[in-house]
Structure 1
Amino acid sequence: MATYMGLGRFVYTPILPVMVEHLGYSKGQVGVIASSNFLGYLTGVLIGATPWIKGSRRAWALAMLALSAVTTGALAFFSSILVLSVLRFVGGVASAIGFVFLAALVIDRLTQAGRVGLLSVQFAGVGIGIASSAFMVSVMIRCGAGPYGLWLACGAAGLVSILLVALLIPARTDTPVAAAASGSRGGMINSAIIRIFLAYSLYGFGYVITVTFLVAIVRANPAIQPLEFWIWIIVGLAAAPSIALWNRIARKLGPKRTYALACVAEAIGVASSVLWQEPAGAILAAVLLGGTFVALTPLGIAAAREHAAGDPRIIISGISVGFGIGQIIGPIFAGWLFDSIGSFMPSTLAAAGALLVAAGLMLSIRPARV
């Protein structure tokens, strides 16, 4: 997860301002590149939901890890918006398929071992990946590295991680990827699942604008520019323990109410990134964003599993379609609006509003029937 998400996907955020500075891209252009990655993610999720992919979940997870690392490193050799978008698209496909298969693999193995509570450790890797890659990128930028050196370093780090993942996840017989369990809660699609799908879509839109442009927002404001080195590291450090924290809350409140609470907290962080342009406001935005956006993924999955039975791979893929759609729209919308009016304020406040609506949708769902 650290490599798939923290390195392969979210490292784009601290590198984005350097690309703008060195290559002369507009916010709209870097938004298109970001959205191409999210379009690839959506495509990968749809592929992962089909019965076409067969074989070992572990083998697919490792193969997609390699593809993610190669496409990340390849970004160093091109400056064309089209080529960069294609590479980010392929990387998004790889990260989505890898995420779906790795998450399903870990869920199955932890369930067999009676250690489902350890699922938070897997998702904590996202925050660890964000923090470690942000630190690496920040140090390299301070040493004068441009986007080419940064992408090469990220690709090389991804390739090294393949060996570590292969050692940490030993080969064994996995549940066939096409297997599906029968359920007693009305099948896969019902009114609750539709609301969860919509809430997950709004979450994708609500988090992605700030995740994509937070470092650029900090860099553009002289009052908080000194925090540029640290802001994405703070996001990663807040994300690492967030799932364990929100899981504890979920044991008392349940996944749906916890999801709603996390959405409200994230909305406050997202709004503060543009409404409170002081160091304290930027830090609050980083802490609340990092402390929620990773945790919302397993909370959404848990809520969906309460209301739909079946192969976890299919459940994860199904609700992630909406998430992917929200992610695609967000950066293009924010980048285009910035190029038009010179501000991230309207798009960011729209994102905060979307998160509040997502919270309301989750709270409107009735408890699942046993």
Structure 2
Amino acid sequence: MLQRPTASPARTALAGAIAMAAAMGFGRFVFTPILPGMVAGVPLSASQAGWIAAANFAGYLAGAILASFGWGAGRERRIGLLALLVSSLALAAMGVTDDVSLLALVRFVAGLASAFAMIFVTAVVSGQAQASGDRTVMPIHFGGVGMGIALSSLIVYLLATLDGGGARAWRADWLACAAVTLAMLAAVARLLPAPVANTAVSPPEPSIAWTRPLSLLTLSYGLFGFGYVITATFIVTMARMGDAGPAIEFLTWFVTGLTAAVSILAWAPQARRAGLRSTYPLALVLQTVGVLASIALPASLAPLVGGALLGATFMVVTAHGLQIGQMIAPESSRRVLAAMTAAFGVGQIVGPLVGGWAADLTGSFALASLLGAGALALATLAVLSVRDSLP
């Protein structure tokens, strides 16, 4: 039996949005706008940058798996706040070392923390949203990811403007972002309500029935993880390599964040009108176009268009893919969620490794981006082949 919510929907949504901005927009994705400075200042090769990024995604996958065992029931708020603290400390730690192995280790810890924060804070927010019946809470909550991306890019740009972008400026970027997320943690601690108690005991789920539609959807989801993450990791570095200028570098990730922040709400009419089985592949197609645009258009436009289409689609594909999977096998919904998250996580880990290797091999990110676009195209074809069998 559910208890009455202990906070207004607006307060809960704001707390969730700030937490997602801190844990995901900063803790997980700020590596992208800081990376060009690290490549020049540490220095890093593209392959080394790929290893550091992959370590973060490996940590995120490990955190998602660890969080799925149910040990945090009833302690979601406390764990979520602790994870936000660890995420902030990991940001600070990135600014005090230039050893590649340590940087990778810190990003692994940051990935664990961001996964815990996302899962446990979302559990609190979604419980309150369900209890209140307010449908605006969750889109605002997840919109915080995009707002965090946009804010982090603004901070990196302003610091570069103030200090002239010296060789060690990237250290100040990490430390400043750590300070901002600590302030966000204080706000979340004040605003986030206690979890809504649920005394119902969930029965054990049966094993997943791996039908052809579910198997191909899971394959598609893993290919999406590979395809999107190459652009999501390296797009600002691509703008730097193309001499697009500091303003374009800033706007690339800023626009990505703004479009991500409104993407779930913006795609809602399409999802209601055409259904998830049409919306999911359409978003994949647009994301493929964005990846290709990031290498095909002139240097002043390529990262902006690529970033805008990335932001407009990656959260939509992420959310809708999982929804479709759970609709295909509702009797094993938690197992499906775990299996698809694992496939996505493997794609995210492999993507930066392959992308960095390809960039070092060729001297540009054109081949890496083509590989990413190819993976997204295959992801689209996989799901379209069973579209008529999807719910």
* TM-score between both structures, scaled by the size of structure 1: 0.92
Which residue in the other structure is 2:330 paired with? 309
For the 8 Å contact 1:209–1:334, the answer to whether it is kept is: yes
Tell me which residue corresponds to 1:244.
Answer: 265
Other structure's SS at 1:199 match: helix
SS at match of 2:330: coil
In structure 1, the gaps of 5 or more residues are none
User: Which of 198, 219, 222 is equivalent to 1:175?
Assistant: 198
* Structure 1 residue aligned with 2:87: 68
Deviations 1:254-287 (A, max 9, x none): 2232111001000000111012234233322121
CA distance in 2, matches of 1:365, 1:57: 37
| Aligned counterpart for 1:298 among listed residues 294, 299, 319 | 319
Corresponding residue of 1:141: 160
In structure 2, the partner of 1:190 is 210
- Report what 2:367 is aligned to: 346
Residues in 2 aligned to 1:279 and 1:215: alpha-carbon distance in whole angstroms: 12
Task: Give the equivalent residue in structure 1 for 2:96.
Answer: 77
Q: Which residue of 2 aligns with 1:211?
A: 232
- Out of 96-105 and 243-252, give the one that drifted further: 96-105
- Structure 1 residues 161, 224: CA separation in 2 closer, same or farther (over 3 Å shift)? closer
Alignment correspondent of 1:150:
173
Tell whether the 8 Å contact from 2:128 to 2:195 is kept in structure 1 after alignment. no
Question: d(CA) in 2 for partners of 1:181 and 1:257?
Answer: 32
Q: Is the 8 A contact 1:38 1:324 kept in 2?
A: yes
Q: Return the letter of the residue paired with 1:322.
A: A
Q: Does 1:131 align with 2:150?
A: yes
Aligned counterpart in structure 2 of residue 160 of structure 1, from 168, 177, 183? 183
Alignment partner, residue 23 of structure 1: 42
Give distance in 2, aligned partners of 1:310 and 1:277: 49
- Counterparts of 1:255 and 1:330 in 2: how far apart (Å)? 26
Measured in 1, the distance between the counterparts of 2:140 and 2:27 equals 19
Mark the CA change 1:97 to 1:226 in structure 2 (over 3 Å): closer, same or farther: closer
Distance 1:168 1:197, change over 3 A: farther
Alignment of 1:229-308 (within 5 A): 229-308=250-329
Q: How does 1:222-233 map to 2 (within 5 A)?
A: 222=243, 226-233=247-254
In the TM superposition, what whole-angstrom CA distance separates every residue of 1:143-168 from its partner, at most 9, and x where no partner exists?
22612111111111111111222233
Q: 1:175 to 1:197 in 2, by over 3 A?
A: farther
Is 1:95 the counterpart of 2:114 in the alignment?
A: yes
Query: Alpha-carbon deviation of 1:8?
Result: 0.4
Give the Cα separation in 1 of the matches to 2:331 and 2:116.
18
SS of corresponding position for 2:364: coil
What 5-or-longer segments of structure 2 have no aligned partner?
1-19
Deviations 1:211-270 (A, max 9, x none): 111011111113566511221111111111111111221111222321110010000001
Could you tell me which amino acid in structure 2 is paired with residue 174 of structure 1? A
TM-score by length of 2: 0.87
Residues 93-127 of structure 1: per-residue CA shift (max 9 Å, x gap)? 11112222233333333222223453211111111
Using the alignment, how far apart are the partners of 2:280 and 2:245 within structure 1? 30
- CA drift at 1:181: 5.6
Most deviating of 336-345 and 297-306: 297-306
Give the distance between the partners of 1:305 and 1:287, measured in 2 at CA: 29
Q: Which residue identity lines up with residue 319 of structure 2 in the other structure?
A: P
What's the RMSD between the two structures over aligned residues?
A: 2.3
* 2:193 match: secondary structure: coil
Amino acid in the other structure paired with 1:175: N
2:27 partner letter: G
The DSSP-based 3-state class of the residue aligned with 2:301 is helix
1:6–1:172 Cα change, 3 Å: closer
| 1:357 positional shift | 1.8
One-letter amino acid of the structure 2 residue matched with residue 86 of structure 1: L
Percent identical residues: 36
2:54 to 24, 35, 53: 35
Whether 1:118 aligns to 2:141 is: no
Change in 2 beyond 3 A, CA 1:262/1:223:
same
Counting matched residue pairs gives 366
Match of 2:126 among 107, 112, 119: 107
